[in-house]
Amino acid sequence: MTLKVEIKRTLDGSDTLFVPELNEHYHSTFGAVQESGQVFIENGLMAVDGGDGPLTVFEVGFGTGLNALLTVFTTKARKHKVHYSAIELHPLGKEIWERLNYPEILGDPGTATLFQRIHEAPWEMPVQVNSSFRLTKINADLRQFTPSGETFNVIYFDAFAPDIQPDMWTKEVFGKMFRLLRPGGVLVTYSCKGNVKRNLKGTGFSIEKLPGPPGKREVLRARKK
């Protein structure tokens, strides 16, 4: 099943998608790249240490591929290897993702090629996108997903908002995320709603509120002690 989506321009000049059926955007309308960079890269990726091995990332909601692209873009500069897994129930068609302007916004000559490789990578198998970034895309519903046993340094929790998709923000789901994380690992998300904080705490996370990107006062980082 593919969701019907429309491409919309956000205030920082980068694209997002709008789902008329849900009356919901994939990213903040104040700035897609700006939001993803602050919430997931700065608060998540940059806040963990992979030690001697690769940094391991699990993304809930692969969506437009923006978080994966920003992760490649960031870790390429830091010369750090990343093993990245992402789960998505409704993959985008090429007619949508190839029109998104993220490579243009990031302005690096090689970014368009990376973005294409990220989206054209086969599902359900690890693919070496470049020398430092290994990607595994999983086409599944997180609620029925059974993890393989691999654990992660950081989780980007980027599902649709709790008001739109409440069954993705439950104690049961967060318990699954807790088990996926390595000790000291973090889960980062844009939502700071009270029930989200309660459900994270109820599964064993310690949480901290961080300043949000434009249009959002606060966001969350949850850590597995």
What pLDDT sits at residue 179?
Answer: 95
Ranges of the chain with pLDDT below 50: none
- pLDDT per position as a tens digit, 70-118: 999 888 766 789 999 999 999 999 999 999 999 999 998 889 999 999 9
Q: Which domains does the chain have, with CATH numbers?
A: 32-224 (3.40.50.150)
CA distances from 98 to 11, 64, 78, 94, 222 (A): 20, 10, 27, 6, 33
Cβ atoms within 10 Å of 29's Cβ, excluding its own? 16
Instruction: Please give the model's pTM, rounded to 2 decimal places.
Output: 0.96
CA–CA separation, 185 and 61 (whole Å): 19
What pLDDT sits at residue 149?
Answer: 83
Query: Could you write out the DSSP letters of every residue in 85-131?
Result: EEE-SSPPPHHHHTT--HHHHH--TTHHHHHHHHHHSPBTSEEEEET
